[in-house]
Amino acid sequence: MGQTARVSAFAWTAAGSLAAWLWLLLCQGFFWRTDVRLPQRTRPDEWPSVCVVVPARDEAAVLALSLPSLLAQDYPGRAEIFLIDDGSSDGTGELARELARRHGGLPLTVDSPGEPPAGWTGKLWAVRHGIGLARAREPEYLLLTDADIAHAPDSLRELVAAARSGGFDAVSQMARLRVESLWERLVVPAFVYFFAQLYPFRRIGRKGSRTAAAAGGCVLLRAEAAERARIPAAIRHAVIDDVALARAVKRGGGHIWLGLAERVDSVRPYPRLGDLWRMVSRSAYAQLRHNPVVLAGTVAGLALVYLVPPVALVAGLAGGDTVTAACGGLAWLVMTGTYVPMLRYYGQPLWLAPLLPFTAFLYLLMTVDSAVQHYRGRGAAWKGRTYARPDALPDEG
């Protein structure tokens, strides 16, 4: 009787996982589709002015691959670049000046804001300084882009045309991340897949929807909307600054859009698992608002949705429990099918799709490790800086 009860409980668990996947497939904004690209756009009669703000801390290793693409932007209107050297120790600022001398193109200003005061993350302090410099030019738009992001020559033009045509206050593209090493192939497409599952792109661009997110590597922001939303002061302590920015703009009545990139790529390498682990774990617990109850729910949810299907299939087949095996196998099949479009977008072999449970298990461990580091007092760390939890930070004076 006990064994029957245990098998029955496992069968119900497998059925719950299958039900969760059917709901995700049909009711979570079709997050698994990868056709959300820049919306239809027309050339404006008059091209607005744009200032590009690039916060950079110790980016000499990637700057030669990214900055020339910004300098070479084929933009019909007035555009200027402000690279803010955020306390680099590797010559980032001087390299940026040398690249501008060598390549020409758009005007480049390199400046440094000094160390951030209490209550600010370094990146957002650098963004604040860059926006302050840009205000003197009175631009209509700001392009906030990271120092590891390379843009196709028409990237800025297409972003502005999309913002103007759609009446968007913020247009953001999820840069195509590098996928060359084995670990990048396993982890990177899943990172974007999980992000889209949390923040379905179709819902973000829908007026009246509460879903808000952006991709910090490429955000075209209307200057008036930034001022109305008090960007970046309103999000000065945010470790996950892109999502916080999108929420602030949307709260201020702005219309935002996020989709996958066709002209924007990250050149930052993550060749080893440790590199990817640090990238995820530095902010995973912040995403959960440092809440242990939410952490426990997240771990349970990841286990139910991603780990139960293969375990149920194997255990059901081994134990002759056809219901458990069928539910587990169908859930795993749906999971695999929803992952295929993202692998195709990244040009990866489809045999990686059934391995998603393994990758999800890695993400589960990264999330738990992020919480462990937080409670050890290390906070979110990035490039030599460690940030306290937001409720420990002082208010802006």
Answer whether residue 176 is part of any domain: yes
Answer whether residue 244 is part of any domain: yes
- pLDDT tens sequence across 197-235: 999 999 999 988 999 999 989 999 999 999 999 999 999
pLDDT of residue 4 exceeding 60: no
Residue 235 domain boundaries: 50-271
Rounded to whole angstroms, the Cα distance separating 147 from 67 reads 7
Structure tokens at 198: 């949390």
What are the residue ranges of helices labelled H in the chain? Answer: 2-27, 60-71, 92-103, 122-135, 155-166, 182-198, 201-204, 223-228, 241-251, 273-287, 292-302, 308-319, 322-345, 356-375
User: Are residues 216 and 285 located together in one domain of the fold?
Assistant: no
Strand partners, 257: 171
CATH code assigned at 59: 3.90.550.10
Give the per-residue pLDDT at 382: 61
Domain end call among 247, 271, 295: 271
User: Are residues 189 and 93 located together in one domain of the fold?
Assistant: yes
Give the per-residue pLDDT at 283: 87
User: Are residues 191 and 128 located together in one domain of the fold?
Assistant: yes
User: Are residues 129 and 169 located together in one domain of the fold?
Assistant: yes
Place of tokens 């000499």: 60
Domain end call among 224, 247, 271: 271
User: Are residues 150 and 211 located together in one domain of the fold?
Assistant: yes
Give the per-residue pLDDT at 1: 44
Question: DSSP character for 209?
Answer: -
CA neighbor of 307 nearest in space, from 28, 27, 31, 21 = 21
Rounded to whole angstroms, the Cα distance separating 179 from 177 reads 6
Rounded to whole angstroms, the Cα distance separating 63 from 148 reads 6
- pLDDT tens sequence across 90-101: 999 999 999 999
pLDDT of residue 8 exceeding 90: no
Place of tokens 């690209």: 37
Answer whether residue 382 is part of any domain: no
User: Are residues 93 and 200 located together in one domain of the fold?
Assistant: yes
pLDDT band at 379 (very low <50, low <70, confident <90, very high): low
User: Are residues 359 and 218 located together in one domain of the fold?
Assistant: no
User: Are residues 282 and 257 located together in one domain of the fold?
Assistant: no
Structurally, how many domains does the chain consist of?
2
Place of tokens 């990868």: 34
CA 58 → CA 63, 87, 95, 384, distances in Å?
Answer: 9, 8, 11, 10
User: Are residues 225 and 183 located together in one domain of the fold?
Assistant: yes
